[in-house]
Structures are given as structure tokens and as C-alpha cells.
Amino acid sequence: MDEYQSQVVKAIATLKEDLPTLFEKDISYDIYRKDIFFKDPVNQFKWKFNYRIIFWTLRFHGQLFFTELYFDLHDVEQVAPDMILANWTVRGTLRLPWKADLLFNGYSNYKLDETGLIYEHIDTWDREPKAILKQFLPQ
């Protein structure tokens, strides 16, 4: 196995280990380039420092606003020589008197540079952020 492919294997193994517990503990950042670009339906930024902040924010708000919060990782695979795809579901129960449930699916598309490091992470959700927020309202 060449150096590139062994870095890809490491990235996939790290994602499989980190993502299911991202609401509980910090992830590993050595599989990402320092100038990583991140985008999801509500955020967009560049640089590893900001990337670390988004994961800290997810953990902080997860513990503050939810009694239960899970990141269910369904699959992580190399779908092209320079691309890894992760499919997942976020589900939880809000810390509200009516115990609103949160549920949405998505996938993370990770693009790899010539050394196998992740330089881009784009998240796609199965519905608009507004539709996800409506789950918080009393039924």
C-alpha cells in the first residue's frame, strides 16, 4: 500500500472512531489540513482553528440544550480516489418541558489532497435548517 492510500485508510479509521462520539469528546485533528474549508447549511469557514471551534460548540450546545444527543454513523467509505463519504443521523431530545425530539439525516463529503489529508468537509442535510428547527416546537 502506498503512502497516500495508507493516509486515506487512517483518515477513514479516525472518522469511524471520532464521529460517533463527537457530542461527547473532541475529535482528532491530525487527518485535516491546517487550511481546511468547512461548509454546512448554516456555517462556512476556513482554517483548523475555526474547525476546532465548531466541534467545541457542538459539544457545548449539545450538553446545554439536550438531555440526549447522538451522532449515529452509518457508513464511511472512500467513494473516489480523493473523496471520503460519511452517512449519518443526528437524533436527540431537547431539554424542554415537552421533550421535543430532534432527528435529521445527512452526509459529510471529505475531499483529500495529494498527501491524503482532508482539505474540505461539506455537510449536506436531508432538510432545510428551518424544518429541523420546527421539530423543537410543541406539537
83-115 pLDDT per residue, tens = 999 999 999 999 989 999 999 999 999 999 999
Phi and psi of 27, rounded to 5°? Answer: -90, 170
3-state helix, strand, coil in the chain (%, to 5): 30, 40, 25
Query: Half-sphere exposure of residue 122, counting CA atoms within 13 Å on the CB side?
Result: 6
| 59 half-sphere exposure, CB direction, 13 A CA radius | 15
The residue with greater pLDDT, 1 or 93, is 93
Q: Which letter does DSSP use for residue 23 in this model? A: T
For residues 30 and 7, the answer to whether their CB atoms sit within 8 Å is: no
Alpha helix positions (H), the chain: 3-18, 48-65, 129-133
Averaged pLDDT score across all residues of the chain = 96
Buried b (16+ CB within 10 A) or exposed e, 78-108: beeebebebebebebebeeeeebebebebeb
- pLDDT recorded at residue 138: 84
pLDDT digits (tens, 9 = 90+) for 43-72: 999 999 999 999 999 999 999 999 999 999
Residue 139 pLDDT greater than 90, yes or no: no
